[in-house]
Each structure stands twice: as structure tokens, then as C-alpha cells.
Homo-oligomer: A and B are copies of this chain.
Amino acid sequence: MNDLFLRACRREPVERPPVWMMRQAGRYLPEYRAVRQRADFLTMVGTPELAVEVTLQPVDLLGVDAAIIFSDILVIPQAMGMGLSVEDGIGPRFHQPLRAPAEFDRLRDPVPERDLGYVLDALRLARRELEGRVPLIGFAGAPWTLMSYMVEGEGSKAFTHAKRLLVQEPARAHALLARLAQAVGAFLVAQVRAGAQAVQLFDSWASALGPRDFREFALPYLAEAVRIARGAGVPVIAFAPGAGWALEEIAAAAAADVIGIDWQTDAADARRRLGDRQVALQGNLDPCWLYAPPAVIRTRTHEMLAAFGGRGHIANLGHGINPDVPVANAKAFIDAVKEWRAP
């Protein structure tokens, strides 16, 4: 078994850094688009056979060193009772955003095996079909990111509804965030029991918060979810894109095994700032650099790897891969990592 990824998570010596890509089971792959033509996004997420089919594609086609289960961070709010649609070109949208107090009260606390069994089934099936080739990663959205989506109803530039809640009704926000931290933690533990060999928390909308709000409304709940997930005994990755300024605080508060680094953060700077912490780093090539000619991708990738310095590093993009990236360019990134050796 290729266990480079798990060894890098634990900062053990590796021949070379492992590599995978966020959103690697995605639209840039013609094989993914073929499945997507037969089923809409939420059907794919909800049907273990389809989810596993696309989960395995980048392993087979690109040779990445880890598989991440095909799913969505919004399955938790959905399991709490919020109706969800995903429309092409628009993205996910809740039928009724969370606004009135009664809507908060109506949410139920999800029980993973009962309410999210289809994700757990997909993990079990993926583990079987992977046959040990590469490790399998589970994931969930972090509490702030889930709450901001639930309140906003859809993706947003400024998240003004969610941020209005923080200043107008902080107690209501804290109550929901605390519930979400428990739900997220329990879901990640269940994912590990179902076969996930590592889990990643995505605080995708960390960028919507300034330092004060991040410290009050995001970080403590991210940390609590990490704490619960770590109880399951596998590496936990915390990724808060847009909060590069907070790397030290995330490392101190959240005690994750791995910290994700976004593409806006200088790799050498991240390594320097976190160098004396017992933490591995994951990232962080700018996804837009995959539009470059393969020779440039190779150079930039090698520069990035050198900046992270090898050990305790998992090569990845600093954000999900864009849907219009040519497969050959994604492959150029993967291959550039594989040929690199620490000096």
C-alpha cells in the first residue's frame, strides 16, 4: 500500500511528498462529466456507487496518493432538515435560509448512521474498491462555514446575512455553532469508523471574518470539531482558506495533525511561522497556475515543494482545482511532485 500520505500527516520520513488535489473528483475530468451527465450533483452525492466511481477516477487516471470521498460539506445542514438544491452554474442553495428564530429551533441534531448513512456507505464501498492502493480521506465543513451557508442560503461575496447575525444576535449564533461543532465532530468520527483513514475540516468561509470575529465565531468551533474528530485516532487536517494570518492561532487552538495552507499564503512563510509546531502542512499551489504551460507548472511546483522543505508536507493545490483546467496540466502538477526529491 502507498502510505506516503499517512506518513507525511504524521511527519514521518518519506521518499517524496505525497500529492492529491482538493476537488480532484471534479468537472475537469471528462470521466467525471460522463457520470454527471447521467445524474445530477446531489444524486451523485447520495448514491454510494456513483460517489465511489468518481472518487476513484483521479486515483486511476492521475495517480494521486490519496482519494477523498466525493461528497459535499452541506450534507450536514441537509441532515438537520434544510432542503438543498444544487443548480448548474449557480451552486448550492437552501430552499429556505435560516433567518427567523423558529427556523433555528426546528433544526434537528443529525445522527450520522441514521441521517448520513449514504456517506458512510460510500466510504465503506470506496475502501473496498481501493483495495489499499491509497488512503481514503473523509471530510466535513467546519461550523462557521456551515452556519454562514445556512443563514445566507447560498454562496455570497460578503455573507452580510450571516455577519448581521453575529453582531445582532451573537447568542443565537453561538448556540447554533456549538450544535454544529458536535454534529461535525460526530460525523467525522463516524466517517473514520466507516473507513476514512484521515479527515479534513473545511472552513471555506473563514475569509468572510476579520480577526476578532474569526476568533470568536470560527476558531473555537473548528477547534472543538477537530478535538472530537481526533478521538477517532486518524490524522485530522484543518483548512481555513483566507485566514492565512491565523495559522499560528489555528495550530495552537485546533491541535490538528495537518494544517492546510491556501494559495494566498507564501509557502516558505507558512513553514517558518509553523516550523516549531508539531504539525504537518498541506498545500498550496495557486490553482490558476494550472493554466500555465506544463513546463511552468513543473517549475512552480518544484519551487513550492522546496519552500515547504519536504518532510511533513502534503503537496496539494491551495484551493480546489478549477473545472476548466486541462487534464494534462493537472497531470503535470502530479508528475512534478512525484519526480521531485528534497535536496
Q: Using known A-B contacts A167-B292, A167-B296, A291-B163, determine if residue A286 contacts B213 with beta carbons closer than 8 Å.
A: yes
The 0/1 profile, CB within 8 Å of B marked 1, for residues 262-289 of chain A is 0111100100000000000000001011
For the complex, is A318 an interface residue (Cβ under 8 Å from B)?
yes
User: Cβ of A263: which chain B residues have Cβ within 8 Å of it?
Assistant: 210
Contact of A245 among B163, B264, B288, B292 (CB under 8 A): B264
Are B210 and A286 touching (Cβ within 8 A)? yes
Q: Give, as a whole number of angstroms, the nearest-CB distance from A206 to chain B.
A: 10
Whether B168 contacts A210 by the Cβ 8 Å rule is: no
Counting chain A residues whose Cβ lies within 8 A of the other chain, the interface size class is: 20 to 34
| B264–A210 CB distance below 8 A | yes
Q: Does A83 contact B (CB under 8 A)?
A: no
Q: Which of B158, B167, B324 contacts A322 (CB 8 A)?
A: B158
Checking B166, B167, B264, B289 against A211 with a beta-carbon cut-off of 8 angstroms, the contacting residue is B264
Q: How far is the CB of A291 from chain B (nearest CB, A)?
A: 4
Q: Shortest Cβ distance from A292 into chain B, in angstroms?
A: 4
CB-CB under 8 A from A288, the residues of chain B are 158-160, 163-164, 166-167
- Shortest C-beta distance, A167 to chain B (Å), equals 4
Interface flags, A104-145, vs B, CB<8A=1, else 0: 000000000000000000000000000000000000000000
A293, CB-defined interface residue at 8 Å: yes
- CA–CA, A306 and B207, complex, Å: 24
Which B residues are CB-close (under 8 A) to A291?
Answer: 160, 163-164, 167-168
Shortest CB-to-CB span from A82 to chain B, Å, is 23
Q: CB of A244 within 8 A of chain B? A: yes
Most buried by B among A166, A266, A288: A288
Q: What is the distance, in angstroms, from A44's C-beta to the closest C-beta of chain B?
A: 23
Bound form: Cα–Cα A245–B267 in Å: 13
B168 x A264 contact (CB < 8 A): no
Residues of the B chain whose Cβ atoms lie less than 8 Å from the Cβ of A212 = 266, 286
B163 touches A207 (CB 8 A): no
Encoded as 1 (CB less than 8 Å from any B CB) or 0, chain A from 137 to 177 comes to 00000000000000000000111100110111000000000
Residue numbers in B under 8 Å from A269 (CB-CB): 211, 245
In the complex, what distance in Å separates the CA atom of A269 from the CA atom of B249? 14
Nearest Cβ on chain B to A271's Cβ, whole angstroms: 13
Q: Which residues of B contact A322 (CB under 8 A)?
A: 158, 160
Distance of A286 from chain B, by nearest CB (Å): 5
Map CB proximity to B onto A80-103 as digits: 1 under 8 Å, 0 otherwise: 000000000000000000000000
Residue of chain B at shortest CB distance from A266: B211
Within 8 Å CB of A211, what residues of B? 264-266, 269
Q: Other than the known A160-B291, A163-B291, A167-B291, what 4 A-B pairs have Cβ atoms closer than 8 Å?
A: A168-B293, A211-B264, A211-B269, A212-B286
The 8 closest A-B pairs by CB, nearest first: A167-B292, A163-B288, A164-B291, A211-B266, A210-B286, A210-B263, A210-B264, A167-B291
